[in-house]
Amino acid sequence: MTTYGSRSGHARRRAAAPHALPFILAALIALAGVVATYQLFVNRTEGQFIDESALTEAAVARHYLGVQASQWLDALPLTSVVIAAFVVLFVTLARRRWKAAGIALLAMGAANLSTQLIKAALPNRPDLGVDTLSLNSLPSGHSTLAASAAVAVFLVVSPRWRPAAGFLGGTYAVVSGVSTLVNQWHRPADVLAAFFVVAFWGALAALAVMRTGNAWNVWAGPREHWASSAWWTIGAAGLAVLTIVGAYTAVASVAAHPQTSRITYFLAGAALIAACGYALTMFGALLLGSQARRRAR
């Protein structure tokens, strides 16, 4: 009787719905990220200078990568929608995850609508003595579209596929964000804000997906499948650390004589985009992985 009761209680604990608090905290942190990005890079002179310098110096990178970046950006809206629609539709039809698909697509739409509303609501960039266009461009619509498509796919796939899907989707979003910088469409802060907007809606959608799809959000841990490997998350964490260190080192190297920089601020801006994208990828994989039910191997 004791053994049976212990196993029964363990099964009930494993079947329990995921806790809401971690997802709500993640959403609030993402929201704080949007506010912090605006305050640091728009309302502060140093931030404006770094942000604008990265955009100006992108002309050097554009000279070498402009054609490729333009082609990527031209195809980005259609590519993002097609990728998200195909994967979500395939998973929905194959696995009958109708609720998850609906939640993921709603989150994708909410993120893109929020970006446009924020962009329209924010005032022009304040004059802080930095030579810059005053028109507000934060958050980046292209980056929101790419990141939200990646998150939609991340939400509907099973837990064993999420580490790989998260890393590949995060890379797709990072490359898209850097492309907007190379083409001088957006400053780095515009991309960071877009990523945080998507993370906000992604965290709330993830809670809904985990709660409504508790039966299929189960896995046997990182050794279950090659796509479940912890190396995907470790890789995202490593890239986040390397790029944030690279961004800091780049800015520090020209801090005393900023006028001598030709491409340093661009590299720092691209590194910041990568750091943010991969850090959010890592935290997303850890959050959903920790809340998915474990199946005995």
Question: Residue 294 pairs with which residues in a beta bridge?
Answer: 219
Instruction: Report the SS3 class of residue 156.
Output: helix
pLDDT digits (tens, 9 = 90+) for 271-296: 999 999 999 999 999 999 999 888 76
Q: How far apart are the first and last CA of the chain?
A: 25
**Residue-level pLDDT at 16:** 65
Phi, psi dihedrals of residue 219, rounded to the nearest 5°? -155, 170
pLDDT digits (tens, 9 = 90+) for 188-229: 999 999 999 999 999 999 999 999 998 899 988 888 889 999
pLDDT higher at 260 or 153: 153
